[in-house]
């Protein structure tokens, strides 16, 4: 089997029913709204209720990927859930997801944690599983599912969000095939963002975390091109996808990428250099960031949300073309890789596009948002939660913890 054909066969997003407009948050915090909408590039952020957790979002994204792409649950031989937002010190999110998706018992199932990097770790591991021959023709399901929480009145507050992206990985992918010889990795122990066991909220050294991200991009890129005579250069990429904690981060990342490629710094005070940087960013990066701008930081899934945005918009024009993907997880771990858009990707645009669900979302007032954050802080120990109290109508919901066991319920439309 050619390891250069392995890749993503199906993709789907699922997220919370409600969102907060960043302009409303800015006004409430006494900040100029332009700082959030222009400075960070964010319009709104998805806010989870106490009944929405990494399990419910992962299951709904997984169901959508399997159903809309016509994949039988019995075809799945590995399930990996990448998450920063674990719900138990011991039991993985993945095993709940395994049961609720009705996957085969002869399925390898586990959770990966490395801040925002867990899903990329899962994706590359599942590709290795297929390349090794151990998959025996089966597919892997990799799901990124997270709730990004920094707490009220913190610098990270406007960079929150929530959601899950499910990806089916196969030897004959319909959407994206990776170039196994152009996958570069990078690891360095840094304290840029972390969440101790006793804390619901992340701690971040925000400006330092941006530096760590950019250094990791350089390190992972260098590793991807360590083999000088390997296939494909990355000068002809039609799209450059990055981990997106907030949209403007991609501008900083793309500047660093161009500096790496050009072998020298870009001087933003130099009008023609700034103009060239902006044009390249607007052509190869910004068009695929509209979902991220509406949903916010979904940690492990952020990069793949941008991939959905790319594929749903232009897959027919981009068939056969190469793109790059950069995943960064604080702490830190990173991967830079190249992949090729499959000619069949354009047939699956409707299956991937989450716009209909996003149009149904409920806009929160500041009071409702702050109440949800308060309710979520004690949700793990509530014996009974009623999804209708939070405006939910149908879907899978977390409904409380009994005898220290989390309970889930599928609710149909009344």
- The region of 46-54, 125-133, 242-250, 401-409 touching ligand CAA under the rule CB under 6 A is 242-250
At its nearest, how many Å lie between ligand CAA and the CB of residue 154? 8
Among residue numbers 385 through 414, which ones bind ligand CAA (CB under 6 A)? none
Measuring CA to CA, which residue among 384, 395, 386, 322 is closest to residue 357? 395
Q: Which of residues 276-305 bind ligand CAA (CB under 6 A)?
A: 297, 299
**Cα 122 from Cα 144, distance rounded (Å):** 9
Active-site residue set: 84, 116, 243
Find the binder of ligand CAA among 43, 114, 138, 243 (CB under 6 A): 243
Write down the least CB distance from residue 2 to ligand CAA, Å: 33
Q: By C-beta, is 39 or 73 nearer to ligand CAA?
A: 39
To ligand CAA, the closest distance from the beta carbon of 213 in angstroms equals 4
Residue whose CB is less far from ligand CAA, 51 or 250: 250
Which position among 1, 27, 35, 378 is part of the footprint of ligand CAA (CB under 6 A)? 35
Least distance from ligand CAA to the Cβ atom of residue 126, Å = 22
Q: Which of 3, 23, 28, 39 binds ligand CAA (CB under 6 A)?
A: 39
Residues 6 or more apart in contact with residue 272 via CB below 8 angstroms: none
**Residue from 54, 156, 296, 395 in contact with ligand CAA (CB under 6 A):** 156
Q: Measured from the CB of residue 174, what is the shortest distance to ligand CAA in angstroms? A: 29
Selected binder of ligand CAA within 249, 250, 289, 293 (CB under 6 A): 249
Task: Determine if 118 is a binding residue for ligand CAA (CB under 6 A).
Answer: no
Residue 285 has which token pair?
Answer: 């990066």
Rounded to a whole number of angstroms, the minimum distance from the CB of residue 311 to ligand CAA is 22
* Residue 109 · residue 95 · CB < 8 Å: yes
Site size with ligand CAA, rule: CB under 6 A: 29
Q: Which residues of 64-80 are buried (b: 16+ CB within 10 A; e: fewer)?
A: bbbebbebebebbbbbb
- Would you count residue 38 as binding ligand CAA (CB under 6 A)? yes
Whichever of 191 and 358 has its CB closer to ligand CAA, that residue is: 191
CB closer to ligand CAA out of 62 and 245: 245
Q: Kindly tell me which residue out of 34, 227, 347, 389 binds ligand CAA, with binding defined by CB under 6 A.
A: 34
The only residue of 49, 159, 170, 342 in contact with ligand CAA, by rule CB under 6 A: 159
The residue range among 151-159, 277-285, 350-358, 387-395 that interacts with ligand CAA, by the rule CB under 6 A, is 151-159
Nearest to 80 by CA among 139, 132, 141: 141
Per the structure block, which two tokens stand in for 211? 């530096």
- State the first-to-last Cα distance of the chain, in angstroms, to the nearest integer: 49
- From the list 195, 180, 173, 162, the residue with the least C-alpha distance to 48 is 162
User: Does 326 contact ligand CAA by CB under 6 A?
Assistant: no
Closest CB to ligand CAA among residues 273, 313: 273
Q: To which residue do tokens 């297929």 refer? A: 130
Q: Which of residues 163-222 bind ligand CAA (CB under 6 A)?
A: 192-193, 204, 206-207, 209-210, 213
CB nearest ligand CAA: which residue?
A: 39
Minimum Å gap between C-beta 71 and ligand CAA is 29
Which two tokens mark 321?
Answer: 């073309």
To the nearest whole angstrom, how small is the minimum distance from the Cβ of residue 37 to ligand CAA? 8
Does residue 10 interact with ligand CAA by CB under 6 A? no
Q: Which residues contribute to the site for ligand CAA (CB under 6 A)?
A: 32, 34-35, 38-40, 115-116, 155-156, 158-159, 192-193, 204, 206-207, 209-210, 213, 243, 245-246, 248-249, 297, 299, 328, 330
């Amino acid at each position: 089997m050619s390891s250069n054909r392995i890749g993503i066969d199906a993709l789907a997003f699922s997220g919370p029913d409600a969102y907060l407009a960043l302009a409303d948050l800015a006004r409430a915090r006494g900040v100029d709204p332009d700082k959030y909408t222009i400075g960070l590039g964010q319009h709104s952020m998805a806010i989870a209720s106490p009944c929405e957790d990494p399990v419910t979002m992962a299951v709904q994204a997984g169901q959508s990927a399997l159903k809309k792409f016509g994949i039988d649950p019995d075809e799945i031989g590995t399930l990996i859930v990448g998450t920063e937002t674990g719900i138990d010190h011991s039991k993985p999110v993945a095993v709940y997801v395994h049961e609720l998706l009705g996957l085969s018992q002869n399925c390898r199932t586990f959770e990966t944690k490395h801040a925002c990097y867990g899903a990329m770790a899962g994706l590359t591991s599942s590709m290795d599983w297929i390349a090794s021959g151990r998959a025996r023709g089966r597919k892997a399901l990799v799901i990124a599912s997270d709730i990004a929480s920094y707490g009220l009145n913190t610098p990270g507050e406007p960079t929150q969000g929530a959601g899950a992206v499910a990806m089916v990985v196969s030897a004959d992918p319909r959407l994206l095939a990776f170039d196994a010889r152009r996958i570069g990795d990078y690891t360095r122990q840094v304290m840029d963002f972390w969440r101790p066991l006793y804390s619901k909220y992340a701690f971040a050294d925000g400006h330092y975390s941006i530096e760590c991200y950019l250094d990791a991009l350089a390190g992972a890129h260098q590793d991807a091109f360590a083999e000088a005579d390997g296939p494909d250069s990355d000068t002809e990429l039609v799209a450059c996808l990055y981990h997106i904690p907030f949209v403007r981060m991609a501008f900083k990342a793309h500047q660093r990428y161009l500096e790496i490629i050009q072998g020298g710094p870009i001087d933003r005070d130099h009008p023609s250099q700034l103009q060239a940087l902006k044009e390249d960013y607007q052509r190869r990066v910004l068009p695929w960031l509209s979902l991220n701008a509406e949903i916010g930081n979904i940690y492990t899934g952020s990069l793949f949300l941008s991939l959905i945005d790319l594929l749903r918009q232009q897959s027919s024009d981009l068939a056969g073309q190469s793109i790059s993907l950069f995943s960064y997880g604080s702490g830190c771990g990173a991967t830079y890789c190249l992949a090729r858009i499959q000619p069949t990707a354009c047939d699956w645009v409707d299956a991937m596009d989450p716009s209909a669900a996003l149009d149904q979302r409920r806009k929160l007032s500041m009071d409702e948002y702050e109440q949800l954050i308060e309710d979520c802080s004690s949700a793990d120990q509530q014996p009974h939660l009623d999804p209708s109290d939070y405006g939910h109508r149908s879907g899978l919901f977390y409904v409380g913890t009994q005898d220290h066991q989390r309970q889930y319920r599928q609710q149909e439309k009344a």
